[in-house]
Amino acid sequence: MTPVASRLDVDRISDRNIDGQDEPRTAFDLLRRSAERWPGRAALHFLADPARIERARTLTFEDLFEQVCAAATLFQTHGVDAADVVAVALSNRPEAHIAIWGAQSVATVMPINGGIPTADFAALLALAKTRILVADAGSWANRADEITAACPRLTNVFLVGEAAAHAHPDVDVQDFNIAISGIRGDLAQAPPPPEHLGIINCTAATPGRPRLVRRSLAAEMRTVCALRPMFGDLLNEGTVVAGGLPLFHNSVAAASGLLPWSQGACVITAGPRGFLNPDFVKNYWRMIAHYRVTLALLVPAVIAQLLRVPIGEADITTLSLAISGGARLSAALQRRFERAAGVRLLSSYGIVELGCLATMTPPAGERRAGSAGIALPWHRTRVAMFDDANRFQGDCDIEEVGRLLVNGPGLLETYIDDDRGDVAWVECGDGLLWLDTGDLASIDGDGYHWIAGRRSEVIRRGGRYVDPSTIEEALLQHPMVAMAAAVARPDPVAGEVPVAYAVLREGGQSDTEALREFLRDTLTASSTDLPVDVLIVDALPLTPLGKVDKRALQQREACVAMASIKQSLGDAANTDDATD
């Protein structure tokens, strides 16, 4: 099958039934089928030490399926059934795949970021009524008491690492690898059916503590079925996919796991910290050359870092395609990467509630720099206007910015904490429930999506809204700037004012005033878009997914504003004292 080139191809594919007769209906079915078709083929290379990229732990498809079955049997022997929750809080390593797919085969699985604050981590485990936790030994050691106190249903903890040193009086603690090492054979009970709501994912974009999304096993497979025809014959037994993003994120687990494995492709996992490990970024191009990688999965912040790493003598000619997700990919960054690496870079857009991606640049079609591509097969998108009471006012015109709504076959069934009152579902008079993504976007005449940014990140300066991506895009056009981010700084007069952060390219030289002058000449919008400050920093804070952590920057700016207010009050008090 040829890769998708346009919206016409997507429409043609969408005429078929997504639940085809020959399609696996669950991840367990997919992994079993792959093990039968390609038993001795490498499914996974794990680079435990990214500084030594030649040393890898390899699992064949047969190995992978056997260990997934062993993990599933382990959980069954400890009394779980389909309704019980197994939380997997592992860093990037094969055990994360083994535990996630094993848990899903007999129970309900919740992949979760083990690096979030302890109070939030324990609260989410408690909200999901977690029965078994699989975690890195180091992340368990310092917060075991708080977790067990918050989670009365927790009975077993399996650690990857030295478990004996972390025993706890309230739960049974064991080493995960030792526990599954002696287990072989079939499952004691048949895996849950496709309609089982066996997946709990944590949202990433909502402010504060993440929400918990519940989805069916079939919905997960439908996201894979929607992605696969986009690539066509670009995804095959000879494909090697380079990962590095955290596996607790549902899009990553699908894109760097189930999707390539469905076609017999091999996945490289760099861990445990993935792209957050400087050694992995430093050796990335050598890794591409050594394993003859053909497809790379990236995020914009990582792309900017890779542009600071010389390709040198590394032969990366096998790399034909790279996909950026997780955050908006600027046109300037996309063009710069394609020139430097000689690789087609596709942009995409996804949201946890939809299961994976909603849009992607068609691999065989036009790459419109700055766009997030077209809707995937069997997915619907629309851009709409709403009044202050959240009532639908109509669809936006072509290229008009409005609220981005999505609907698709992998959509969540429900939020576990649905009583929080966040508005997620909207009705548009067509009988469908649409998910409000929280993003602003426009759609052009050919169906390409243009993401303007999250509504929560728009800077409200006086009576005008400032799009931070406008500032970021302008800064990235400067030849010395490698990364850029714009956020709001609280202001007593205007409410908020924009502030920009810039990371210079390797060996680049510039200063704050030069960058401000460049923005004055580059920004075509009103002068209110001009940042009140441009800060040159060595690095931007990143989330575990490799996205720029704008919340951290917003908190920093809030502290700056508060310090300024306190200083002003102090100066005023000193002036009054002097007057008296």
- Domain edges within the chain: 7-395, 458-568
pLDDT digits (tens, 9 = 90+) for 290-343: 999 999 999 999 999 999 999 999 999 999 999 999 888 989 899 999 999 999
Residue 419 has what pLDDT?
59
> What is the model's pLDDT at position 467?
85
Does residue 207 have a pLDDT over 60?
A: no
Specify the range with the lowest mean pLDDT, choosing from 25-34, 53-62, 440-449, 513-522.
Answer: 513-522
Distance of CA 325 to the CA centre of its chain: 7
Q: Which residue has the higher pLDDT, 132 or 301?
A: 132
On whether the CB atoms of residues 434 and 405 are closer than 8 A, the answer is: yes
Q: What sign results for the dihedral spanned by CA atoms 521, 471, 384, 445?
A: positive
For position 205, what pLDDT does the model report? 47
The pLDDT assigned to 204 comes to 65
Quote the CATH superfamily of domain 7-395: ANL, N-terminal domain (3.40.50.12780)
Q: How many angstroms separate the CA atoms of 407 and 435, rounded?
A: 6
Same fold, 7-395 and 458-568: no
Rounded (5°) CA angle 206-209-210: 55
Residue 206 pLDDT: 45
Does residue 394 surpass a pLDDT of 90? yes
Among the residue ranges 205-219, 391-405, 549-563, the one predicted with the least confidence is 205-219
In the numeric block, which tokens belong to residue 544? Answer: 């575990």
- What is the structure's pLDDT at 169? 93
Mean pLDDT of all residues in 373-377: 97
3-state DSSP percent of the chain in helix, strand and coil, to 5? 35, 25, 40
Torsion angles phi and psi, residue 187, rounded to 5: -70, 145
In the predicted structure, residue 575 carries a pLDDT above the cut 70? no
Q: Which CATH architecture has domain 458-568?
A: 2-Layer Sandwich (3.30)
Contacts of 568 (CB under 8 A, 6+ apart): none
* pLDDT above 60 (res 382): yes
Which whole number is the average pLDDT over 461-481? Answer: 87
pLDDT band at 528, cuts 50/70/90? low
Q: In which band, very low, low, confident or very high, does the pLDDT at 143 lie, cut at 50, 70 and 90? A: very high
Radius of gyration of the chain (CA): 24
Comparison of pLDDT for 417 and 469, the residue scoring more: 469
pLDDT (0 to 100) of residue 335: 93
Residue type, 124: L
Q: What is the mean pLDDT of the chain?
A: 90
Q: What percent of the chain has pLDDT over 90?
A: 64
pLDDT for 503 equals 94
pLDDT at site 35: 97
In DSSP notation, 475-535 reads HHTSTTEEEEEEEEEEETTTEEEEEEEEEEPTT----HHHHHHHHHHH--S-GGGS-SEEE
- pLDDT of residue 574 exceeding 60, the answer is no
Q: pLDDT digits over 23-53, tens only?
A: 899 999 999 999 999 999 999 999 999 899 9
User: Which pLDDT band, with edges at 50, 70 and 90, does 461 fall under?
Assistant: confident
Q: Is the pLDDT of residue 420 over 70?
A: no
Which tens digits make up the pLDDT trace of 57-83?
999 999 999 999 999 999 999 999 999
The predicted pLDDT at position 208 comes to 58
- Does 568 have pLDDT greater than 50? yes
> What percent of the chain has pLDDT above 70?
94
